[in-house]
Structures are given as C-alpha cells and as structure tokens.
Amino acid sequence: MNRFYTHSVQPGDSIERLALAYKTTVEDIFTANPGINPYYLRVGEFIKIPNIQLNKDRCISQAEVDYRNDLRSLWEEHVAWTRMAIISLIFKLPDIEFVLQRLLRNATDMGNMIRRLYGDVAATTYGNLIKEHLLIAADLVKAALAGDQQAAMTAEKKWYQNADAIAKFLSTGNPYISEETFRKMFYEHLDLTKQEAVFMINKDYQKDIDVYDKIEKQARMMADTISDAMVLLYPDMF
C-alpha cells in the first residue's frame, strides 16, 4: 500500500535532512514527489514522506512507534469524550460531572506527551490550553441549549482565540509545525465539533454520526502532524 506522511516544509529543510529525520532515503522521497525541485523547497509546500512503517526494509524505533500510537490514542479519546460530554449536556444525563472530569483529564495527558521533550513549564502551559479549549466547548453547548446567542457568540470567539494560541504555542516550540497549517487544522476541528453539537441538538442523528466519522479521521491527522514534528525536532529521543 502507498501511504505517506505529509510534511509542511519549514525554513532550513532539505531533502537530505528530511530523509535523515524520517529515517527514509532521498530516493524514496523523490519517487513519492515527482518533479520536486531539491534546490528550492518553498516554505509551506507539502511533501509526501513514504510511510516507512509499511516497508519491511525500513525500521523505526519502538519509542517512535509508541509515541505515535499514544498520541493518536489521546486525540481519539479527546474527540470521544467531547462527544460524550455533548450528549450528556444535551440530554441532561446524570453522569455529566463525571464525564466532564474524565474529559478534562485528557488535557493533562496531552501536556504529559510533550513533558519529556519540552519540560515541565511547557507541558503545563499546553495542558492548560487544551483544558481551556474543552471548557469553552462546554460553555458553547450550554449557551446554545439555553438559546443565549450572545453567550454563544462570546464563547465561540474565545474558542477560536484559544485555537490561535494552541497553534502559536506548538509552532513556537517546534519549527516543524507550521502555525498557519496547524491553525487551519484546528479550525476544522472546531467547525466539525460545532456541527456535531448542532446536529445532536436538532436530533439529526444520522448527520451527527456522519460528521463524527470525519472528526475521528481529522483528529488522527492532527496527532500525526504533531508526532511528525516531534520526531523531526528530537530524532535522538526516538
């Protein structure tokens, strides 16, 4: 099967450096990107990196495999517990406080995923940003249920400002995450989650399920984008 990671070119990138960081070969990158100019990689340009996990002639460390899998799992938990919180809020289920408590644990777990790489202060900062993202989402759903348009607009504005802060934090700490690219991805995450809540409120359950499938897929893409950047920045730690 032909599967690829998608890398957004950052300042200082070269084909040789990408091949070394991703533990693949210059030749394989050229094969995956016909017509690419190795002497002029445009910042923001997307390059396909062959998925070396699918090639028996390549190997990656168990640490890298574990990191990628763990981060994917956390983002899948992120959207799953967000969905459960939306359902509990909308249908006034008695488990809402327990669900919210478990949802917010995801923020701490997200912060811990970068603790070993970035240190305690950065891990706490990132965890707090994710926690804020989750709390604002709950406020947005509550405002929508109450029919309070002003509160909903205020919460939504804060939600996107928080997304900007998350994109800035990740890109500032790691030049291999494009702030603009990740902001677009996070905005898509917000838009899909908002659709999910609206469909559930309107009891349009099939559309709600359909959009959740998109949310899961998009969450895995965000996880892989972050993992790719971590491996590139800290190859010796994987």
User: Which pLDDT belongs to residue 2?
Assistant: 47
User: Which pLDDT belongs to residue 59?
Assistant: 66
> What are residue 14's phi and psi, to 5 degrees?
-145, 160
Domain ranges of the chain: 4-54, 62-237
Which of the residues in the chain have pLDDT under 70?
1-3, 51-59
pLDDT tens-digit series, residues 191-232:
999 999 999 999 999 999 999 999 999 999 999 999 988 988
Q: Which architecture, in CATH terms, is 4-54?
A: Roll (3.10)
User: Which pLDDT belongs to residue 51?
Assistant: 64
pTM for the model stands at 0.78
